[in-house]
A and B are shown apart, each in its own frame.
Chain A
């Protein structure tokens, strides 16, 4: 079967994933996953805990090598990439980790400025200025010299977000941006993600099982189930989907095809 050029399939496809497979031993996590993310859109991937959302996002940024399949970023398949090309590619990305993953041996400003320090010739003063500006964007002020251990969970997440946007990436990946936060803080983060998309024009993929957040930030929502994307659509389309699996998940019912299947 000749492989289609992803550019032909989706001229504005920023991230195009085809036939992605990944297993850990007997545990088949991704089983032929397809997904298209358009330039400038915010795609939210929903799915149950353990369905492979984090694995998917880690494949996209090259932290996990898939067993099979292709991931085209700007039309280029990154799956066969070696370390050197991966690192070039990663400079276009920013990633927000579920628990922040801040470097706990460094103060906040060094965390946020880490990429700048490693990949630019900027002096510390200049880096500090940029860091200040990024921290302001995520609504933080005066925390530059604190250590990560001195921050609350929500603050950590925002600092991590500031670190993700410090290099002005084209693509942002959010791993559960709102999980574990109080509803107000969750909404602050949601607003922030929307503002980043509008201001910085980034393309983003967010994974979450927080439906409130999904409806709010998504241009489109994709549901991951049994290793595949079973449905993609706008929040309204998803809300009115006639797929029972999707309905069970978004309504959070314990009775339905997901739980019956197991």
Chain B
């Protein structure tokens, strides 16, 4: 029992170490020309197109339910007018980045891990090596850059959609005054809130790409292995997103 615990702990640090090494290597290869623009654009398309629709649906409903909940809470203090403020702040600071991050890790991270994992078990990654091509440069760098660039766009999109969702519920269902709601939304919003949202977006993008590619590269044993790698990629990146989210918030606010 004790031994198992020790082994698990060692395994955990080993894996964490490998992820950090992959991250460092990816950075090194990113700055080593040439950049494969075609692959980066392809991955951006993939990360984006795969995600915009789900992020739209997710964000609008989050904004809507958040408006409903905070309205019923704020009503007790006759502070209904601040629903717009709280929806906007919550969306921009936490809900937009975190939920989008989780959603993208479920969709895009899983796909990355499955794709690289399949390449690993069918020896395509070995084949890349034999063709004198570095797999980190060829496979990880485009995915890394694509997530790094697409996540902020996606998260701003999520913020806006969420705020619109809150607005729709407040104005059309809860009969709030449209102008007051808009004013309350903007008045308390600071540039800093948006920056921090964007920093989170970039960090989450990096986490998703690196963790998923790492799981893909370390896939073993056929279709079952690919399934396991995919699951692990989603679980690890989701947890890391939530943990790093706390620390970014704690350090920067």
The reply to whether B132 and A90 form a contact with Cβ atoms under 8 Å apart is yes
Query: Is B177 engaged at the interface, CB distance under 8 Å to the other chain?
Result: no
Q: Which of A46-86 contact B (CB under 8 A)?
A: 58, 61-63, 83
The reply to whether A90 and B130 form a contact with Cβ atoms under 8 Å apart is yes
Considering the complex, give the chain A residue whose CB is closest to the CB of B36. A118
Query: Is A162 engaged at the interface, CB distance under 8 Å to the other chain?
Result: no
**In the complex, number of A-B residue pairs with CB atoms less than 8 Å apart:** 51
Query: Is A97 engaged at the interface, CB distance under 8 Å to the other chain?
Result: yes
Cα distance A97–B124 in the bound complex, in angstroms: 9
Q: Which of B118, B119, B124 has the most CB of A within 10 A?
A: B124
Identify the stretch in A11-19, A100-108, A178-186, A194-202 within 8 Å (CB) of chain B at 4 or more residues: A100-108
Query: Is B122 engaged at the interface, CB distance under 8 Å to the other chain?
Result: yes
Specify which chain A residues have a CB less than 8 angstroms from the CB of B126 in the assembled complex.
58, 63, 97, 101
Query: Is B75 engaged at the interface, CB distance under 8 Å to the other chain?
Result: no
The reply to whether A88 and B132 form a contact with Cβ atoms under 8 Å apart is yes
- Over the window 113-136 of chain B, the binary record of Cβ atoms lying under 8 Å from chain A Cβ atoms (1 yes, 0 no) is 001001100111011111111100
A118's contact among B118, B122, B123, B132, by CB below 8 Å, is which?
Answer: B132
Closest chain-A Cβ to B224's Cβ sits at a distance in Å of: 17
Closest chain-B Cβ to A156's Cβ sits at a distance in Å of: 11
Q: Which of A98-130 contact B (CB under 8 A)?
A: 98-99, 101-105, 114-115, 118-119
The reply to whether A91 and B132 form a contact with Cβ atoms under 8 Å apart is yes
Mostly, the B contact residues are helix
A104's contact among B124, B131, B132, by CB below 8 Å, is which?
Answer: B124
Query: Is A165 engaged at the interface, CB distance under 8 Å to the other chain?
Result: no
Closest chain-B Cβ to A101's Cβ sits at a distance in Å of: 4
Specify which chain A residues have a CB less than 8 angstroms from the CB of B131 in the assembled complex.
90, 114-115, 118, 163
Specify which chain B residues have a CB less than 8 angstroms from the CB of A163 in the assembled complex.
131
Closest chain-B Cβ to A198's Cβ sits at a distance in Å of: 24
Specify which chain B residues have a CB less than 8 angstroms from the CB of A105 in the assembled complex.
115
Closest chain-A Cβ to B120's Cβ sits at a distance in Å of: 11
Specify which chain B residues have a CB less than 8 angstroms from the CB of A58 in the assembled complex.
126
The reply to whether B124 and A101 form a contact with Cβ atoms under 8 Å apart is yes
Closest chain-B Cβ to A154's Cβ sits at a distance in Å of: 17
The reply to whether B132 and A101 form a contact with Cβ atoms under 8 Å apart is no
A101's contact among B115, B122, B133, B134, by CB below 8 Å, is which?
Answer: B122
Q: Which of B128, B130, B134 has the most CB of A within 10 A?
A: B130
Closest chain-B Cβ to A204's Cβ sits at a distance in Å of: 14
Specify which chain A residues have a CB less than 8 angstroms from the CB of B128 in the assembled complex.
103
Cα distance A73–B233 in the bound complex, in angstroms: 39
The reply to whether A119 and B132 form a contact with Cβ atoms under 8 Å apart is yes
Query: Is A23 engaged at the interface, CB distance under 8 Å to the other chain?
Result: no
Cα distance A83–B28 in the bound complex, in angstroms: 14
Specify which chain A residues have a CB less than 8 angstroms from the CB of B130 in the assembled complex.
61, 63, 90, 93-95
Q: Which of A94, A97, A163 has the most CB of B within 10 A?
A: A97
- Over the window 27-41 of chain A, the binary record of Cβ atoms lying under 8 Å from chain B Cβ atoms (1 yes, 0 no) is 000000000000000
The reply to whether B132 and A103 form a contact with Cβ atoms under 8 Å apart is no
Specify which chain A residues have a CB less than 8 angstroms from the CB of B119 in the assembled complex.
103
Query: Is A241 engaged at the interface, CB distance under 8 Å to the other chain?
Result: no
Query: Is A243 engaged at the interface, CB distance under 8 Å to the other chain?
Result: no
Beyond known contacts A61-B130, A101-B126, A115-B132: 9 more, CB 8 A cutoff:
A58-B126, A90-B130, A95-B127, A97-B123, A103-B119, A104-B124, A105-B115, A115-B131, A118-B132
